[in-house]
Amino acid sequence: MRQYGHAVLAKKIDEGEDFPLTAAEYVEQYGDHPIRIDFETVVSVEEIFENVEQEEFADFVEFHQELGRAMRENGYWFYEGADQFVDGSA
């Protein structure tokens, strides 16, 4: 099964070994890697991280939350119903 967007970004790191992690370190290592957003759209890691505001992530949860926020706010999140999980109504 093909993985998209957020899942691909998360698979590039090791939760137990890579934190704390800075956005700059992540982009330096993976910036030119392609990320498939949907069946038509492919962007680089660097393009996604242009919208990441947080400079450092203490753990995997912080990484996921900030990346999810940046992707949703900038049209890189194609999952239907994603908003219901963000506002806590799910």
Answer yes or no: is pLDDT of 43 > 80. yes
Give the distance between the most distant pair of CA atoms in the chain.
Answer: 36
The pLDDT-based confidence of 11 (bands split at 50, 70, 90) is confident
Mind giving me the DSSP string for 11-42? Answer: HTS-TTTS-SEEHHHHHHHHTT-EEE-SSS-E
pLDDT tens profile 48-60: 999 999 999 999 9
| Average per-residue pLDDT for the chain | 84
Average pLDDT over residues 12-33: 93
> What is the model's pLDDT at position 4?
64
Q: Is the pTM of this model over 0.85?
A: no
